[in-house]
Amino acid sequence: MSKARLVITALFVEHQSPAEVAARYGVHRSWVYKLKARYEAEGEAAFEPRSRRPKTSPTATPPEVVQLIIALRHDLARRGLDAGPDTIRWHLTHHHGLTVSAATISRHLRRAGLVTPAPKKRPKSSYVRFEASLPNETWQSDFTHYRLTTGTDVEILTWLDDCTRKAIRVTAHRAVTAIIVRDQFRHAVNTAGIPASTLTDNGMVSPPSTSCREVPPPSASPAKDAAADATPSKPNCTACTSPRRTPDPATPPPAARSNAFSKR
């Protein structure tokens, strides 16, 4: 039972004085008199919670401005122009000398039912990120375009361990091809061992297989590694001997081509 109902019960059922009730329940005597008068005037409605909204709102948008906002919305939409809050605010400022925030305009448009709510998007918390549980369980490969300060366009190829997030090998090339992907994968294997699987998209430079068990042994000489970069060795695994598509000569330069590997 609420304190207000206890006070009313003590006043009208137990016939206690307001002073006695105030002392009994530890409330101010003026509040007891106010509650008594409200109960005598309204009955049971006196126990309902009252709105705390102020009786006046000096900063509220005038009704005529609200009507102008709605009229501008209809007029702009009818003419096939943008009718968003920012555009309406611009018209109010430049054509009517009124300063109204975009948030206020948006609120009045929603109240008038002139905004179609967008469907709720899937919450990010519902996405479960794929992540390898052990090193060398899965490698990811991707390449991105980058323009040097000299204006030269390059493509940066990366082999990344999905578990440790370690960049096993990062190299820059004028244009990434299937042969380059193969050779850099071999160098990465020589550095970190053979991964159980690889993860790429369906780009034309991606290997068609997710496993590559037969790789050349690591070279004992850095000079041989450099020579291997310049002259790719003969592939000796199923993934590397599959036919490869190379970019057409008429293909635009890297800056104009879309990335063949999409970001996760």
In tens, the pLDDT along 147-164 reads: 988 889 999 999 999 999
Residue 24 pLDDT exceeds 80: yes
Half-sphere exposure of 53 (CA within 13 A, CB side): 6
The structure tokens listed for 51 are 């709105």
What is the reported pLDDT for 210?
47
Residue 47 pLDDT exceeds 70: yes
What is the per-residue DSSP string for 192-246? H---S-EE--S-TTS-S-S-----PPPPS-HHHHHHHHHSPPPP-SHHHHS----
What is the reported pLDDT for 206?
64
Residue 257 pLDDT exceeds 70: no
Mean pLDDT value of segment 248-252: 47
Mean pLDDT value of segment 39-66: 84
**Distance separating alpha carbons of residues 70 and 185, to the nearest angstrom:** 62
Half-sphere exposure of 201 (CA within 13 A, CB side): 10
3-state DSSP assignment of residue 12: helix
> In this prediction, what percent of the chain has a pLDDT beyond 90?
47
Yes or no: say if 154 and 212 are a contact pair by the CB < 8 Å rule. no
Yes or no: say if 212 and 235 are a contact pair by the CB < 8 Å rule. no
Q: Give the model confidence (pLDDT) of 202-227 as tens digits.
A: 777 766 544 444 445 444 444 444 44
Q: Give the model confidence (pLDDT) of 180-198 as tens digits.
A: 999 999 999 999 999 999 9
> In this prediction, what percent of the chain has a pLDDT beyond 70?
77
What is the reported pLDDT for 85?
95
Look at the chain and count its residues.
264
| Alpha-carbon distances, residue 83 vs 55, 70, 94, 95, 251 (angstroms) | 33, 10, 15, 15, 41
Residue 129 pLDDT exceeds 80: no
What is the reported pLDDT for 180?
94
Yes or no: say if 184 and 171 are a contact pair by the CB < 8 Å rule. yes
Residue 109 pLDDT exceeds 70: yes
Residue 24 φ then ψ, to 5°: -70, -40
Residue 261 pLDDT exceeds 50: no
What is the reported pLDDT for 262?
40
Half-sphere exposure of 219 (CA within 13 A, CB side): 13
Strands 198-199 and 139-147: parallel
Q: Which residues pair with 137 in a beta bridge?
A: none
Amino acid at 25: Y
161: enclosing H helix or E strand? strand 153-161
Mean pLDDT value of segment 23-34: 90
The structure tokens listed for 87 are 């555009």
Mean pLDDT value of segment 90-100: 95
